[in-house]
């Protein structure tokens, strides 16, 4: 029996660096520090929101966790087993447990396949060979995600954006995973449809004790679905806490700035607007010391020299900033 105290996913000091090659001889002249030493855990039935601007490394982190891209160093444990260096064959049972939902459901669905075959493909690959059995399982999945089983014979272009994301969710659910990585899974959808898809993901989580790594550039989107939030900046986690602490007592200047852009539904609560200057610097040559110092309104000389470690400043609340 699975021990619910063992995290579904435990990531320690995960790094993914890409070499930068130049010239005729393709010499390595530098590294892109896409993910630069991140650690987190996700418990059974929990959601971790991984948030940051585009280019901060969150998508690479999600792919590295699933070993869709090979990590440079660090460890990935799934249900207590270190899968970081497992061979393709040994990784297979763990692949079943970990699925991904992409941002753009249209480009991730084969336009020439029936929707039912798309959802049933993972079943076929993982050994459910009886067509009848597959069709029954797919029909049940269609019904569960709010599609009609009759739509199994439609092509992806015959569905709306929200329906296509439901197909993506049904496909991810097909093998009964424990963990789903959602890479901006609702960013391409209208706001009203976003809420429906998030509600569906939450219902499925309750029903199946699913764990999610929910990647988004938008704090407002992750608020409703996440139990914990990790804020990423240039390949590193700068703040990591439960969702309420992040929203009520943000401690890192970058989190404060991201939050100031989130609309507050209660007019009695006013947030000071903080507009971040400039773009995220290149991860090829990240700024020295604290990576955020080129944009931080509170920068002090020490910030340019010394990199602040991620410290626990209150139970479960971790921040990397010299001033906290």
Enumerate binding residues for ligand SF4 (CB under 6 A). Answer: 253, 290, 292-293, 296, 298-300, 303, 308, 321-323
Tell the smallest beta-carbon distance from residue 62 to ligand SF4 (Å): 24
Report the alpha-carbon distance of residue 178 to residue 112 in Å, rounded. Answer: 29
Query: Is the sign of the CA dihedral 176, 180, 183, 188 positive or negative?
Result: positive
CB nearer ligand SF4, residue 293 or residue 318? 293
What does the H/E/C string look like for 254-281?
HHHHHHHCCCCCCCCCCCCCCCCCCCCC
Tell the smallest beta-carbon distance from residue 228 to ligand SF4 (Å): 20
E strand or H helix at 50, and its extent? strand 47-51
Q: For residues 6 and 79, is the Cβ–Cβ distance under 8 A?
A: yes
Q: For residues 245 and 69, is the Cβ–Cβ distance under 8 A?
A: no
CB nearer ligand SF4, residue 86 or residue 313? 313
Edge-to-edge strands of the sheet including 179-183?
Answer: 98-101, 179-183, 211-216, 47-51, 228-233, 236-242, 317-319, 311-314
CB nearer ligand SF4, residue 60 or residue 320? 320
DSSP classification of residue 304 = G
Tell the smallest beta-carbon distance from residue 193 to ligand SF4 (Å): 36
Q: For residues 101 and 168, is the Cβ–Cβ distance under 8 A?
A: yes
Tell the smallest beta-carbon distance from residue 15 to ligand SF4 (Å): 20
CB nearer ligand SF4, residue 72 or residue 307? 307
CB nearer ligand SF4, residue 171 or residue 236? 236
CB nearer ligand SF4, residue 4 or residue 277? 277
Nearest to 204 by CA among 230, 185, 178: 178
Tell the smallest beta-carbon distance from residue 317 to ligand SF4 (Å): 15
Tell the smallest beta-carbon distance from residue 36 to ligand SF4 (Å): 15
């Amino acid at each position: 029996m699975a021990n619910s105290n063992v995290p579904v996913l435990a990531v320690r000091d995960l790094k993914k660096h890409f070499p930068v090659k130049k010239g005729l001889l393709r010499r390595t002249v530098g590294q892109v520090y896409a993910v630069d030493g991140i650690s987190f855990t996700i418990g059974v039935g929990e959601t971790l929101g991984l948030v940051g601007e585009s280019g901060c490394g969150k998508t690479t982190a999600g792919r590295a966790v699933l070993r869709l891209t090979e990590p440079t160093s660090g460890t990935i444990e799934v249900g207590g087993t270190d899968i970081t260096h497992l061979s393709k064959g040994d990784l297979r049972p763990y692949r079943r447990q970990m699925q991904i939902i992409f941002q753009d459901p249209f480009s991730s669905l084969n336009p020439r396949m029936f929707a039912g075959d798309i959802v049933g493909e993972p079943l076929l690959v993982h050994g459910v060979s009886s067509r009848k059995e597959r069709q029954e399982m797919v029909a049940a999945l269609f019904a569960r995600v709010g599609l009609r089983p009759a739509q199994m014979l439609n092509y992806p272009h015959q569905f709306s954006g929200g329906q296509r994301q439901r197909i993506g969710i049904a496909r991810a659910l097909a093998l009964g995973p424990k963990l789903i990585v959602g890479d901006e899974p609702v960013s391409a959808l209208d706001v009203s449809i976003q809420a429906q898809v998030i509600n569906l993901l939450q219902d499925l989580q309750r029903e199946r004790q699913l764990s999610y790594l929910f990647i988004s550039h938008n704090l407002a989107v992750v608020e409703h679905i996440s139990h914990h939030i990790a804020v990423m900046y240039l390949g590193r986690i700068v703040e990591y806490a439960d969702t309420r602490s992040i929203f009520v007592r943000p401690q890192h200047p970058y989190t404060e700035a991201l939050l100031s852009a989130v609309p507050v539904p209660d007019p009695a609560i006013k947030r000071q607007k903080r507009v971040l200057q400039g773009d995220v610097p290149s991860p090829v040559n990240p700024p020295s010391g604290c990576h955020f110092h080129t944009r931080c309104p509170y920068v002090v000389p020490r910030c340019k020299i010394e990199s602040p470690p991620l410290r626990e400043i209150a139970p479960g609340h971790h921040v990397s900033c010299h001033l906290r």
